[in-house]
A and B are shown apart, each in its own frame.
Chain A
Amino acid sequence: MNISHHFDDATLMAYAAGTLPQGMALVVACHLHWCPECRHRVKQAEAVGGALLDNISPVAVSDSALDDILASLDEVPAAAQKQVKTSEPNQTELPDPLSTYLNKSLDDLPWKWIGYGMYQVDLNFGGKGAARLFKLAPGVSVPHHTHTGNELTLILRGSYSDEIGRFRRGDVADLDSDVLHQPIVDTGEDCICLIATDAPLKFTGIMGRLIQPFIGL
Chain B
Amino acid sequence: MQEDEPIGGDVNAVTKLAEDSRKQMRDEWSARLMSLGETRDKAVFAQLFSYFAPRVKAYIIRLGMPLATAEEVTQEAMLAVWRKAHMFNSDKAAASTWIFTLARNQCIDRMRREKAVEYELPEEEPDPDQRDNAEHAILAERMQIAIQQLPENQAQVLHLSYYEGKSHSEIAEQLGIPLGSVKSRLRLAFSKLKTYWGDEA
Contacts and interface: CB of A to CB of B under 8 A. Distances in A.
Interface in B145-201: 147, 158-159, 161-163, 165-169, 179-180, 182-184, 186-187, 190-191, 193-194, 197, 199
Given A48-B147, A51-B147, A78-B40, A126 B113 contact: yes
B97 interface: yes
Given A13-B186, A66-B46, A126-B114, A20 B53 contact: no
A52 B119 contact: no
B121 interface: yes
B168 A77 contact: no
Could you say which interface size class chain A belongs to? 35 or more
Closest 4 CB pairs of A and B: A50-B97, A58-B54, A10-B183, A49-B100
Interface of B: 22, 26, 40, 42, 45-46, 49-50, 52-59, 61-62, 71, 74-75, 78-80, 82-87, 92-94, 96-101, 103-105, 107-108, 112-115, 117-125, 127, 131-132, 136, 139-140, 143-144, 147, 158-159, 161-163, 165-169, 179-180, 182-184, 186-187, 190-191, 193-194, 197, 199
B118 A96 contact: yes
A57 B57 CA distance: 10
A57 B58 CA distance: 7
Report which residue of B71, B115, B122, B159 has the largest number of chain A beta carbons within 10 angstroms of its beta carbon: B122
B163 A52 contact: yes
Interface string A35-51: 01001101111111111
A22 B161 contact: no
A50 B57 contact: no
From DSSP, what is the main secondary structure of chain A's interface residues?
A: helix
Contacts of A68: 75
Contact of A79 (B52, B83, B100, B199): B83
A53 B55 contact: yes
Contacts of B93: 43, 46-47, 50
Contact of B169 (A16, A61, A69, A198): A198
From DSSP, what is the main secondary structure of chain B's interface residues?
A: helix
A128 to B, nearest CB: 8
21 contacts: A29-B119, A32-B121, A45-B190, A47-B97, A49-B100, A50-B100, A50-B140, A52-B159, A56-B55, A59-B57, A60-B57, A61-B53, A61-B57, A61-B74, A66-B46, A69-B79, A73-B42, A78-B85, A85-B122, A100-B118, A126-B112
B118 A84 contact: yes
Given A18-B108, A50-B93, A100-B118, A58 B100 contact: no
B183 A8 contact: yes
Contacts of A66: 46, 49-50, 53
Contacts of A52: 59, 100, 147, 159, 162-163
A148 to B, nearest CB: 8
A176 interface: yes
B87 A26 contact: no
Nearest to B78: A69
Nearest to A36: B127
Contacts of A9: 186-187, 190-191
A154 to B, nearest CB: 13
